[in-house]
Amino acid sequence: MVNSESPRFIAGVVEGFYGPPWSPTERGELFDTLAAGELNTYLYAPKDDLKHRAIWREVYTAEEAATLTALIQGCTSRGLNFIYAVSPGLDIRYSDLAELERLHARIAQMLSAGCEHFALLFDDIPDRMHLADREAFGSFAAAQSHVATALFRWLRERSPAARFLFCPTPYCGRMAERKLGGENYLATIGRELPPEIDVLWTGPEIISREVTVEHVREMRRVLQRKPLLWDNLHANDYDGHRFFCGPYAGRTPELRKEIAGVLLNPNCEFPLNFVPLRTFAAIVRESGAWDARAAYLAAMSEWLPRFVTVSGAVSLADLVLLGDCYYLPHEEGPEADAFFRRAAELLTAVPSTWGEEAAAFLVECARLRELCGRLAELRDRPLFYALSRRIWELREELDLLERYVTARSENKSSNAAPRSDFHLPGTYRGGLVAKLQRLLTPRADGSFTPLSAP
């Protein structure tokens, strides 16, 4: 259960991605899902709410405030905590008292709308300070701690039970190692922030493949409090070609004892979060061993009824295969991984040695390609719209593979490269971005090698 470790344990979702925010209908469905999964929190922090970040000094209009009031009521009526976040770090003057008064005005407006809990975010901001701020505080950490502490104390006078969250500028291990925000940033934050303030953390990386108990214990020592995990495992705002419908993985139930809570920051496209949300809720409730793959398969079975097309239902086996193609940031699901390995082995072998392997591969390739085509007929149109660009891209690659393998199978002795009338230069894998991507090739260790000169 969520409260098994502490009644203050936070478990829920942060809407904190870059891109169009979720609609009121989607947020209502989210609140129902959180309540049904025995989760307890929603953190409002969509980067594309301009008044959350870019123009944070401006209070909401009456119409905007009414919309937020309805959102807060919809959240709290389901027994969930609503946390409102403001992100002033792009241009705040830390030493200017008027800036703190502007933050007071924003918090006061949200208090009047029924919000009780708040977050102050300093993520993804320029690593520099105004001269007056540096002269007043000496460091980013000291300046941000001053503002956060003052705002927290002001808030607690008006809302004594308020939960207050803080996101540091270096919010993952790699950023801290590179001293983003300055020397001893996290140690300063840990020392100067009141212990009641929760500090958000994403793990070793921005998108962490794994978050271990050992890692979290070290951060607890540095921050002088249990970190609150802002988990980007299923976030996809950094890659418009992918989404992630794999299970909540790389974390164990034992982690709950070491953290103040965990907030999942999932896919931008709300319909694609079905499996992430349900497997996340399952691990929060789990008291024994965690089997991520079993949880994934169970959630896929629950998701299956939404995959009804005009010609009938998609099979569970096909849905699992599709989901494995869009599993997690650092890995494909086992069926998609096996498919890729077979394709790579086939294409690196001499065509005269392919034998039955080519025929078997073509059958499997056609199955997945045809599934992508069938999904265009989904009766759940919002689900299709969320999938459409990604599965079209997959379908095109599968079509090209089929044509290539078929051509080489029919002419094994030819040295001529097969051509496709449907995948032409400029219109296929074209554009400036694709050209730029070919200039530098990433290595497994994270370094890059440039394109060799012709």
- Residue pair 121/86 in contact (Cβ under 8 Å)? The answer is yes
**Is 124 known to be catalytic?**
yes
pTM for the full predicted model:
0.94
- Asked whether residue 153 falls in the same domain as residue 30, the answer is yes
Give burial (CB, 10 Å; 0-12/13-18/19+) of 224.
Answer: middle
Direct distance between the N- and C-terminal alpha carbons of the chain, in angstroms, rounded to an integer: 60
Task: For 106-151, give the DSSP string.
Answer: HHHHHHHTT--EEEEE--S--S---HHHHHHHSSHHHHHHHHHHHH
Nearest 5°: CA angle at 267, between 262 and 272? 115
The CB density around residue 62, as the number of other CB atoms within 10 Å, is: 8
- Asked whether residue 61 falls in the same domain as residue 200, the answer is yes
Among 238, 256, 289, residue at a domain's last position: 289
Q: Which of 124, 237, 337, 380 is catalytic?
A: 124
- Asked whether residue 26 falls in the same domain as residue 64, the answer is yes
- Asked whether residue 111 falls in the same domain as residue 234, the answer is yes
- Residue pair 82/72 in contact (Cβ under 8 Å)? The answer is yes
> For position 5, what pLDDT does the model report?
55
Task: Assess if residue 159 is contained within a domain.
Answer: yes
Crossing angle of helices 185-192 and 213-223, in 10° steps, is 60
Distance CA 179, CA 289 (A): 36
- Asked whether residue 348 falls in the same domain as residue 393, the answer is yes
- Asked whether residue 134 falls in the same domain as residue 236, the answer is yes
Task: Assess if residue 306 is contained within a domain.
Answer: no
- Asked whether residue 17 falls in the same domain as residue 156, the answer is yes
By DSSP bridging, strand 448-450 and strand 440-442 are: antiparallel
Among 289, 324, 358, residue at a domain's last position: 289
Q: Report the CATH number at residue 225.
A: 3.20.20.80
pLDDT in tens, 128-163: 899 999 999 999 999 999 999 999 999 999 999 999
In which domain, by residue range, is 191 found? 2-289
- Asked whether residue 318 falls in the same domain as residue 247, the answer is no
Task: Assess if residue 444 is contained within a domain.
Answer: no
Distance CA 422, CA 427 (A): 9
Task: Assess if residue 440 is contained within a domain.
Answer: no
pLDDT in tens, 388-397: 999 999 999 9
- Asked whether residue 279 falls in the same domain as residue 316, the answer is no
Distance CA 52, CA 86 (A): 5
> For position 454, what pLDDT does the model report?
46
> For position 1, what pLDDT does the model report?
36
Alpha-carbon dihedral sign for residues 173, 179, 181, 187: positive
Crossing angle of helices 316-325 and 356-374, in 10° steps, is 100
Among 289, 320, 347, residue at a domain's last position: 289
Distance CA 165, CA 142 (A): 17
Distance CA 87, CA 119 (A): 8
Helices (H) and strands (E) in the chain, counts: 15, 12
User: What is the total residue count of the chain?
Assistant: 454
Per-residue pLDDT for the chain (454 aa), expressed as one digit of tens each? Answer: 354 456 689 999 999 999 999 999 999 999 999 999 999 999 999 988 999 999 999 999 999 999 999 999 999 999 999 999 999 999 999 999 999 999 999 999 999 999 999 999 999 999 889 999 999 999 999 999 999 999 999 999 999 999 999 999 999 999 999 999 999 999 999 999 999 999 999 999 999 999 999 999 999 999 999 999 999 999 999 998 999 999 999 999 999 999 999 999 999 999 999 999 999 999 999 988 999 999 999 999 999 999 999 999 999 999 999 999 999 999 999 999 999 999 999 999 999 899 899 999 999 999 999 999 999 999 999 999 999 999 999 999 999 999 999 999 888 766 767 888 888 888 888 899 888 888 988 888 888 888 764 4
- Asked whether residue 233 falls in the same domain as residue 346, the answer is no
Task: For 220-272, give the DSSP string.
Answer: HHHHTS--EEEE-TT--TT-TT----S-S-S--GGGGGGSSEEEE---SSGGG
Task: Assess if residue 75 is contained within a domain.
Answer: yes
Task: Assess if residue 348 is contained within a domain.
Answer: yes
Task: Assess if residue 297 is contained within a domain.
Answer: no
Task: Assess if residue 106 is contained within a domain.
Answer: yes
Place of tokens 């803080």: 166
Distance CA 97, CA 102 (A): 9
- Give start and end residues of each alpha helix (H) in 267-315: 274-285, 292-303
- Asked whether residue 28 falls in the same domain as residue 88, the answer is yes
Q: Report the CATH number at residue 383.
A: 1.20.58.240
Calculate the CA 152 to chain-centre distance: 28
Place of tokens 């998701």: 303
Number of domains the chain is built from: 2
- Asked whether residue 283 falls in the same domain as residue 156, the answer is yes
